[in-house]
Amino acid sequence: MGCCLAVLAGCGGSAGAPVGDGASATVVAPPPPPSRAVLTVQPADGAQDVPPEGAVKVAAAQGKLLSVRLADARGAELPGTIAADGSSWAPDGPLPLGTAFTLDSVAEDDQGQKAAQHAEFSTVARAHTFVAFFTPEDGSTVGVGMPVSLRFSRPIADRAAVERAVQVTADPPVPVAAHWFGNQRLDFRPQQYWAAGTKVAVALRLKDVQGAPGDFGSQNRDLHFTIGRAQVSTVDLDAHTLTVRGGQGGKVVRVLKVSGGSPEHSTYRGVLVVSEKYQVTRMNSQTVGMGDEYDIKDVPHAMRLTGSGTFVHGNYWANPGVFGTANTSHGCIGLADTKGGSSKDTPAGWLFEHTIPGDVLEVKASAGDFVPPSNGLNGWNLPWEQWLAGSALR
């Protein structure tokens, strides 16, 4: 017992006794003060079902971010950007769905002391997908009135997120703006008709963009189309004429005689854009809510102007005398033609051969309804300020 006490006393005495000649001591430096930098990481560690866009953020207070590393389970890093002042970080785009991630952040205070934080989370798994069906076709050449029109396969609740994921650019450059028609259609156009020769590019970056709770986009695609020659024609239903104008100055190319809608079934007034062409097609009044008034199985040289069934087309069954003198149709614009849709020499055949989707007919009359902008590709009937107001990003 005495020996043990002596040893303990010796150990205790050496810690506080002065160091004599030949002795050495280890000086232990005090620990550095904790960093004053405060890291805030979203989502919280362990979070699940995190949305792929807008939910992942890192912020630093009383200090600046030095590094942020976001990586999946395989170690693949996803790009992100630290703000210029070092106060925040966010990923550069939407995150993949159904994926586990680690998020490691380091910040430094004004004394050079570092703070670090680690978090793990996983994104929501895919539930439903949506796609955009687009007009015009990729690689096509179209008229100066052709908008970019996207129709989504599912209703869109977060219109801003979807609109942000679509970019439309023109060469030569011109401002292009978006407008929503309901929750499943998004159109883009410039303030005025496109200039002839313009090349338009559409970038769809919809993959993993959440359009509605549980609905995610599945497309990343680039589309291109070209604006061909300028052709903007004028239809005067009071004079029963269709004046084809071409080129930048609107030079008159040809004047054709037409028969428009009768007073009971007037033709829409306003700017009407050709969306489709058919050498021969069937027109049945039941499909447009007019009962059994007509069923023509071989309408020649038909070009669609509205989604509700307005066409400019050839007519072989009417009295030739009505063209240029009277409006007798159920709302379409008719031109003299022969049966079969093969002749290029008739007024309707000539117009069909000299028209491409996107060409414009500006229809004027002293009476009749104006075409709703959402009926067909006819958003030009909205004034520019009203068009801009239809964007989800304004």
Q: How far apart are CA 3 and CA 84, in angstroms?
A: 68
pLDDT tier, 333 (very low <50, low <70, confident <90, very high otherwise): very high
Quick one: average pLDDT of 276-293? 78
- Same fold for the domain at 38-123 and the one at 128-228? yes
Q: What pLDDT is stored for residue 12 in this prediction?
A: 36
Q: What pLDDT is stored for residue 10 in this prediction?
A: 33
Q: How far apart are CA 196 and CA 40, in angstroms?
A: 53
Specify the 3-state DSSP secondary structure of 99. coil
**Is 90 exceeded by the pLDDT of residue 326?**
yes
Tokens found for residue 187: 């159109």
The reported pTM is 0.74
Q: How far apart are CA 349 and CA 73, in angstroms?
A: 63
Kindly report which listed range (18-22, 86-90, 263-267, 324-328) carries the lowest average pLDDT score. 18-22
Per-domain residue ranges for the chain? 38-123, 128-228, 232-381
pLDDT tens digit string along 231-282?
Answer: 999 999 999 999 999 987 889 999 999 999 999 999 999 999 999 999 999 8
Over the range 356-381, which residues count as b (16 or more CB within 10 Å of their CB) and which as e?
bbbbbbbbebeebeebbbbbbbbbbb
Active site residues: 313, 332
Specify the 3-state DSSP secondary structure of 37. coil
Q: In CATH, what is the architecture of 128-228?
A: Sandwich (2.60)
Tokens found for residue 277: 């062409």
Per the CB < 8 A criterion, the answer to whether 255 and 241 are in contact is yes
Record: fold of 232-381 = L,D-transpeptidase catalytic domain-like (2.40.440)
Q: What pLDDT is stored for residue 64 in this prediction?
A: 96
Per the CB < 8 A criterion, the answer to whether 175 and 191 are in contact is yes
Record: fold of 38-123 = Immunoglobulin-like (2.60.40)
Q: What pLDDT is stored for residue 291 in this prediction?
A: 67
Q: How far apart are CA 148 and CA 225, in angstroms?
A: 10
ω before 172 within 30° of 0 (cis)? Answer: yes
